Structure 1
Amino acid sequence: MRDRKPRMPRTRLAPGARPCPRRGPRASLSGSPALRTASSSGGQDNGSQSRDAPSGHHQQRPESAQKPQLLRDVPLTRIEGIRVGHVQRVALVPGKVHEMRTLSLKPLLFEIPGFLSEDECRVVKQLAQLKGLMESQLMVQDGQEDLAKELNLSPEEIFNLLDINQDGQLQLHEILTHSRVRDGIWLTPENLREIYAGLKVDKNDDGLLSLEEFRLLSSDAFQRFLLQRGVKRSQLVRNSRHTWLYQGKGTHQVLQDIKSRVTRLTRLPPTLVDLSEPLQVVRYEEGGHYHAHHDSGPVYPETACTHTRLVANTSAPFETSCRYITVLFYLNSVEGGGETAFPVADNRTYDEVSLIQNDVDLLDTRRHCDKSNLRVKPTRGTAVFWYNYLSDGRGWVGEQDEYALHGGCVVTKGVKWVANKWINIDPDYARQARYEQLVSQQPEEEEEEEEDEGLTLNTDIQSSDIHQDL
């Protein structure tokens, strides 16, 4: 018999119990209803799902409801941070309670020491080495220039687009917000001054470009200059090696355990975790780094999510990795450096232009990691996780959380091993639903077979004491 994608358990209501009320036009995807977030009054889950749908209690479904419904009228769970320093107890594995500490509210960021055991960290590293690690390359979007050509923008129109303060001159930081990354190469203010001098575009050498000077700074000129001068590894946006480890049926038990633990931690329907990206394992040598970035991008009408693009039925010129949650695991304790930096965590405001001030570039994790608002020291077995998107207020994914900007500080001594588990959800609810429906389709006989099974609520995942405040 061929392997099937594991389905999430369905819930049956106790006799006389009422189904969960509709909470708005959006709903979470199929599977066990997600647990409600901890309340600020006490943080205890109210356990209403457990009371409404206890394990082992069944109710005859009307004829019209015999076919399982894909969508559920329960919003996506979003854990509350309460306040910085707040600690919750989380039951992730049998016989053990972990502590989850709130590190910031913008983004909503948590730390869980001891999420992985020493043996689990060792196994993940060994599996990654066995599979083989490849050089990490930044996926640079080349659609930006294509779009500019399609719009037929003149140099003057591009100049005015970049001239944020509309003073008729382009400062270094205004250029860098547009051209900070060129073919995976990280451009600093010093690099830009060097390019100005090499191409002789800044005639009066004041670090500012007029419209006339800007006309000399074409994309082709940029490219030729970078090729001529060569590129050092320290100038790359990302300097590391990585591989991907699948976590489905038949894979190593440790990988499956990690996926299950992530499901319990985030309280999301298992199908969402099952259909997300594999586990990424990354190794940073001494000198390795990753400049500050967002794991996900904003989704505009002309943008499609990478994981749902096939069902989007669109010719959108851009795509982005729609990663609702990032779970980052530290697989070893680093001797020197290697912190995960959040430059603008809990800032009152976010302004991309202000990230570069007086030649201090907060996105540059090689030189200015110490200027970040928050840094997390890599400690073996610790996990940190954060939300890359806000809530839309109706139980689904909203706008990108710009405060989720983060990067890897340079490793000054030793090596650094981490793993990333991303949970992919399309902010476009209809697209995500179509995607899940497409990949979850089963032959009719398998559907009928499951109808005959005694499917009950998974009480292990739905336990009301999974998350408890201290």
Structure 2
Amino acid sequence: MAAAAAAAGPEGPPLPGPPGGRPRPVCSRPYFLVLMVFAHLYVLNVLGLLLFVHLSAGDNGGSPAAPLIAPVPPPPPPPARALPRLEGIKVGHTQRVELVPGRAHAVRTLSLKPLLFEIPDFLTEEECKLIIHLAQLKGLQKSQILPTDDYEEAMEMIEISQMDIFNLLDHNQDGQLQLKEVLTHTRLGNGRWMTPENIREMYTAVKADPDGNGVLSLEEFKQLNIRDFHKYMGSQKVKTSDSVRNSQHTWLYQGEGAHQVMRSIRQRVMRLTRLPPEIVEHSEPLQVVRYDQGGHYHAHMDSGPVFPETACSHTKLVANESAPFETSCRYVTVLFYLNNVTGGGETVFPIADNRTYEEMSLIQNDVDLRDTRKNCDKGNLRVKPQQGTAVFWYNYLSDGEGWVGELDDFALHGGCLVTQGTKWIANNWINVDPNRRRQQRFQQEMERYGGTGAGSPGEWTVDKAYGGAHVEL
């Protein structure tokens, strides 16, 4: 007991402390309270300063005190979205895509060059019949491929010498023009499909080949008047069997307010291609085509290369740029078979999955692989029409940065001769300008117009730009 009292010392009992005799922590409760008071005072001071700056800027917008905080420039317009592409993997590969809720469709790779897919049962039998019925109600007209007046005027305005024309045609630069060199670059003429036989007839008519060997030397070419060729072509009556294309077609609107089946097809195309809705919605309407017995479409490209002298048909509507030529910039083709064809009518891809592409190799020993009336059986790939089946392919390569690159030469295709019965197809083309800036501006203008209240945006879409006549590539 005495020991305990001695330990307490003269100052009395020890102050209470933490259990176990541990030292008192520095951050005691009183210390914490004092710290929080100072922290709150600091925050209040900062808030007060910010409020003062805000009020100063608002009351004296035109005074030197206003720019205490630099104005933030408006954000730039959002860039055009990257364009997704389906992976082909390998020929025969099948992937599943949900085109309608609760149902996965098989998408089978038919070729890698071009990137081409087949989708059975894309359309039902009833939908196919409805599309044919709507096309018949609207009325079909003869499909023609003829140079327009604007095209002729543009050709006259271009300054090109006879020597330049010769060098353009002389593919192998040997100083002579073989028949196949002329044929390769003379695809349209006056809507007549050019063959070695009618090229020789033309040479004879305009006295272009004095020695009759079917080859034009540079000297012989210099003696020619190019206008004589145009006059000769214009004087020739084109038989149906000799035309580039023998079919009838019409266009069906797919925009807002269209038949629910038309809208549904467009939605399925969006899911299949995975392309942005704003691009698909402002693309061409549905083209419906009828080929009777004897009908055909020689091999061609759905789109054309875009050079500085050309503009895309769809973006030219809003672009402040002038170009003497225009082309249909069709990034994707989706083709639907609307009936089973009794005989012929396949879609042929003459050079699909070739190791290389050489334009001059399309014509060998007077055999033109582009001629779908005579040489469809020589093409690398033929797709037989099957009601409800869709095939789709890319007409352009990727530029490696998520946008449209160069034209894919392997996308050359045509409609084989219908030997028996009738063939009905429909085409959905998705338009994208290889010039990303022009495409972005086009989409912005379409959205702006739709937001002005001046009318339904659907009334100004590309759907409305396709009237009775339409010149195709």
Q: CA deviation at 1:228?
A: 4.3
The residue correspondences of 1:337-348 to structure 2 (distance < 5 A) are 337-348=344-355
Change (3 A) 1:209 1:132: same
Aligned length: 382
Deviation larger for 312-321 or 428-437: 312-321
Change (3 A) 1:107 1:141: farther
Change (3 A) 1:227 1:302: closer
* Alignment partners' CA distance in 2, 1:180 and 1:318: 17
Cα shift readout 1:157-196 (whole Å, capped 9, x = no counterpart) = 3222321222221100111222231121111111101212
* Alignment partners' CA distance in 2, 1:444 and 1:232: 50
Opposite residue 398 of structure 1, the aligned amino acid is: G
Q: Are 1:190 and 2:208 an aligned pair?
A: no
Cα shift readout 1:397-440 (whole Å, capped 9, x = no counterpart) = 11111111111111111010000000001111111111011011
Change (3 A) 1:275 1:229: closer
What's the Cα RMSD here?
2.3
Change (3 A) 1:68 1:129: farther
Q: Is the 8 A contact 1:304 1:312 kept in 2?
A: no
Change (3 A) 1:147 1:216: farther
Per the alignment, residue 171 of structure 1 pairs with 178
Per the alignment, residue 109 of structure 1 pairs with 116
Change (3 A) 1:245 1:149: closer
From 238, 243, 246, the counterpart of 1:239: 246
Q: Is the 8 A contact 2:305 2:407 kept in 1?
A: yes
Q: Where do 5+ consecutive residues of structure 2 fail to align?
A: 1-71, 454-473
Q: Are 1:395 and 2:402 an aligned pair?
A: yes
Query: SS in structure 2 opposite 1:80?
Result: coil
From 359, 384, 389, the counterpart of 1:352: 359
Change (3 A) 1:246 1:445: closer
Per the alignment, residue 464 of structure 1 pairs with none
Q: Where do 5+ consecutive residues of structure 1 fail to align?
A: 1-63, 447-470
Change (3 A) 1:228 1:425: closer
* Alignment partners' CA distance in 1, 2:166 and 2:79: 49
* Alignment partners' CA distance in 2, 1:444 and 1:180: 44
Per the alignment, residue 374 of structure 2 pairs with 367
Q: Is the 8 A contact 2:396 2:407 kept in 1?
A: yes
Change (3 A) 1:104 1:93: same
Q: Is the 8 A contact 2:80 2:436 kept in 1?
A: no
Per chain length, whose mean CA-contact separation is higher, i.e. which structure has more relative contact order (CA < 8 Å, sep 6+)?
1
The residue correspondences of 1:74-153 to structure 2 (distance < 5 A) are 75-140=82-147, 149-153=156-160
Q: Is the 8 A contact 1:180 1:188 kept in 2?
A: no
Q: Are 1:336 and 2:343 an aligned pair?
A: yes
Query: SS in structure 2 opposite 1:328?
Result: strand
Change (3 A) 1:116 1:213: same
Query: SS in structure 1 opposite 2:388?
Result: coil
Per the alignment, residue 9 of structure 2 pairs with none
Structure with more of its chain in helix, by fraction: 2
* Alignment partners' CA distance in 2, 1:71 and 1:429: 12
Q: CA deviation at 1:395?
A: 0.9
Opposite residue 98 of structure 1, the aligned amino acid is: H
Per the alignment, residue 10 of structure 1 pairs with none
Deviation larger for 364-373 or 224-233: 224-233
Q: CA deviation at 1:150?
A: 4.3
Tell me the TM-score normalised to structure 2 length. 0.76
Q: CA deviation at 1:99?
A: 0.8
Q: Is the 8 A contact 2:191 2:238 kept in 1?
A: no
Tell me the TM-score normalised to structure 1 length. 0.77
Q: CA deviation at 1:314?
A: 1.3
The residue correspondences of 1:154-303 to structure 2 (distance < 5 A) are 154-303=161-310
